[in-house]
Amino acid sequence: MTEQETKAILTICLMAAAADGSTDDREGEQIRRAVESLAHDSGVDLQAIHDDVRLGRVSVEGVAAAIGSPELRQLTWETAAGVCDADERRSDAETEFLDRLRRALGLEKSAIEPFQSQADALAAEPVAVTGAVAASDATTGSEELDRMVLNYSILNGALELLPQSLATMAIIPLQMKMVYRIGKAHGFELDRGHIKDFLATVGVGLSSQYLERFGRRLVGGMLGRLGGSFARRLGSAATGSAFSFATTYALGHVAMRYYAGGRTVDAGQLKETFASLLGEAKSLEQRYLPQIRERARTIDTGALLDLVRRPV
């Protein structure tokens, strides 16, 4: 993959994040922070790319022309779809953007339909759990919640190791389901809107999180789909999975504190607590790296929706 292709894919990801035209201040700030973080770690002038997108100085067709191989073009479309679907089922504006991108990349509808169908199902998956799981969650104690958060963190770290775009897309639905179950354990029945607002308050954007996660894989040369063995990807696990493990772990523990306290913690305290827990989680990831690697080996990528629905 050339430097020009890397920049083109990142440009398209940023265009996808802005495609619905309704980015609020918090989401815009989270995307800006993701861009700064990626730029700091990669050396790529992402701020210039971000400015070009924000000011409308680039076109889908012009950027797509820089992407060469059919496989890379397919991955580019899938990644843009992941950004659009990160917060919820895509809007009409996002659908129009993705169709324009598909044409610009020279992809047939038949090439993207299997992915699109599964991506739509992941984006639409309800956050609530029902039946025996819901009944069990309502009486779950703090030790069980600790284990549940750790299990979700290990699973999401493992998903990050897999080359399939859909595996990465499963991470956010799992995080939202985890928060729902934590709320349930403390007597709160949460809906998707509340959980999205909670995540935004602590500083976890949905589109920005997906953007940063993919960006780190891209600029770090860890797109296993485009070459390299599974063993090599596992060897890069500290870089490839740390972001998702740490974010999930910190999110779970700040949610436990928030709902255990009756949702009385203010936004500033939530952000400070999350930032502190994120630092702690980053140091823990190495301890659980063997479990993350082993979990990655057992994931059936053909049944990701079932994986999201199952309790961990």
The CATH 1.10.3680.10 portion of the chain extends over 3-122
* Average per-residue pLDDT for the chain: 83
Q: For residue range 109-146, what is the model confidence (pLDDT) as tens digits? A: 999 998 889 888 888 889 998 888 888 888 888 899 99
Identify the top-confidence range among 155-159, 234-238, 263-267, 285-289. 155-159
- Judged against a pLDDT cut of 60, whether residue 77 lies above it is answered with yes
Q: Are 205 and 26 in contact (CB under 8 A)?
A: yes
What count of residues does the chain have? 312
Coil/strand/helix, residue 20: coil
pLDDT at 25: 59
Q: pLDDT higher for 42 or 68?
A: 68
Q: For residue range 207-231, what is the model confidence (pLDDT) as tens digits? A: 777 777 777 666 655 454 444 443 3
Query: What CA–CA distance (Å, rounded) separates 136 from 145?
Result: 11
User: pTM of the prediction?
Assistant: 0.85
Q: Are 280 and 250 in contact (CB under 8 A)?
A: yes
Fold of 3-122: TerB-like (1.10.3680)
Query: What CA–CA distance (Å, rounded) separates 270 from 44?
Result: 31
Among the residue ranges 5-14, 22-31, 251-260, the one predicted with the least confidence is 22-31
Q: What DSSP letter does each residue of 239-298 carry, written as one string?
A: HHTHHHHHHHHHHHHHHHHHHHTTS---HHHHHHHHHHHHHHHHHHTTTTHHHHHHHHHH
Q: Are 265 and 131 in contact (CB under 8 A)?
A: no
Distances 75 to 67, 142, 264 between C-alpha atoms, Å = 10, 41, 43
